[in-house]
Amino acid sequence: MSIVYINSAACISVQDTLSENFSEHLKPENSTQVLKAIEPNYKEFIPPAMIRRMSKTVKMSSVASTLALKEAGIEKPDSIIVGTGMGCSQDSEKFLKNVLENNEEFLTPTFFIQSTHNTVAGQIALGLQCHGYNFTYVNTSSALEFSLLDAKLQILDGEAENVLVGSTDEKTDRIMELYQLSNTIKKEENLPSDYLNSKTEGVIWGEGSSFFVLGKDKNESSYAQLKDIQITNKLESDETEKFIREFLVKNNLKNEEIDAVILGFSGDSKSDIYYKKASELFQNSSLLYYKHLSGEFNTASGFSTFMACHILKNQEIPEVMMINDIKKDEIKNVLLYNHLKGDDHSLILLEKT
């Protein structure tokens, strides 16, 4: 079977992931309820007249996608696929606010048009004049995984050679208020958050945008091979071991052949039990976590995929991500496991190129 390569990776997050040596300056964030992404100088990438009309998630995605394409040496991809949990919620809030303030009269359509989830993929395509396959997945925490799976199938079926795949989500004031009311976000009195041994429910929320170019050919910038993806909506905690074992058997791998496992510990005592069950399977692997660096959000797995790509390419694991002290001489296979509040479980298997 043909191999699918991840040929570039770009990420805007609450860390300074656009800088060259970002892995040396990763800082855990455990004392703030909601984290803000470190944004670039958009004027360097987007005409000023357009910036004013773009929501935050569109701006972040425009920059991340531009950098991903540049690194892969691709001017125009064959397909553009974006995964998002909340879409352009900033413009959605603005539109609804206008509806209320103007008594449903004399509304400008701009915010409504830009509030749809597929705005990001559409704006990128317009900028590139790309008329190929353009699709948006809205599957809460597995939106990126569905996007990667779609891209992989397209490449293996010969329908595309290079696919731009991204994930993006932004925080907005009103939604954050609702998340606090529903106890999705940790209460002030439960901070700082202990991500690995939390006794309280709720998470620290984040935001970000991650983009990758998947291709059928390996090149100088290649990070990893995308070997396989597995997704399931519902899973009981005692089914975690079976879910992972069957995935490894499917890929002809034993537990000890997984060199590093990246787990989505979020500090939510109720749902982190899945990650604790998973970690018991890999006694001889490097166990890593990442949401203390990115925060929890619908497409946080974009940040972990970005980090996994760099770990495989550089053969180096940032100390701040380590749960245990096991380090392999060579990092060949990396397994990523993620879910959001116990739903939409996903596994991604990446292999060194």
Taking residues 329-344, report their average pLDDT.
Answer: 97
CATH of the domain at 102: 3.40.47.10
Is 242 found in the same domain as 189?
no
Residues 122 and 99 in one domain: yes
Point out the domain boundary residue: 181, 215, 249: 215
CA distance 85 to 169: 7
Mean model confidence pLDDT for the chain: 94
Instruction: Collect all residues with Cβ–Cβ distance below 8 Å to 16 and sequence separation of at least 6.
Output: 22, 25, 38
Residues 206 and 228 both lie in one domain:
no
Contact 72, 215 (CB under 8 A): yes
Q: Which of 111-120, 121-130, 236-245, 316-325 has the lowest mean pLDDT?
A: 111-120
What is the average per-residue pLDDT within 103-110? 78
Select from 191, 215, 239 the last residue of a domain: 215
Angle at 125 between CA 123 and CA 131, to 5 degrees: 145
Percent of the chain with pLDDT over 70: 100
Residues 54, 19 share a domain: yes
In this predicted structure, the answer to whether residue 2 has a pLDDT above a threshold of 90 is no
Q: Measuring CA to CA, which residue among 198, 137, 151, 207 is closest to residue 179?
A: 207
Instruction: Based on the fold, state whether residues 272 and 337 are members of the same structural domain.
Output: yes
Q: Do residue 168 and residue 67 come from a single domain?
A: yes
| Residue 1: pLDDT over 70 | no
Statement to judge: residues 249 and 181 lie in one domain: no
pLDDT at 107 over 90: no
Question: pLDDT, tens digit, for every residue of 240-276?
Answer: 999 999 999 999 999 999 999 999 999 999 999 999 9
- Tally the C-alpha atoms within 13 A of residue 187's C-alpha that lie toward its C-beta: 8
Segment 37-65 mean pLDDT: 92
Question: What single-letter DSSP state applies at residue 55?
Answer: -
Distance CA 244, CA 103 (A): 52
Please tell me whether residues 29 and 130 are part of one structural domain.
yes
pTM, to two decimals: 0.95
User: E strand or H helix at 302, and its extent?
Assistant: helix 301-314
Q: Which of 211, 33, 255 is nearest to 123 (CA)?
A: 211
Whether residues 124 and 158 fall in one domain = yes
pLDDT for 136 beyond 60: yes
The tally of domains found in the chain comes to 2
Rounded Cα distance between 349 and 258, Å, is 9
Same domain as 282, residue 211: no
Spatial distance between the Cα atoms of 59 and 42, rounded to a whole number of angstroms: 7
150 and 12 in a common domain: yes
Q: Which residue has the tokens 């009269």?
A: 105
Residue 196 shares a structural domain with residue 256: no
Q: How confident is the model at residue 103 (pLDDT cuts 50, 70, 90)?
A: confident
End residue of a domain, out of 182, 215, 248: 215
150 is in which domain, residue-wise?
5-215
Q: How far apart are CA 295 and CA 59, in angstroms?
A: 20
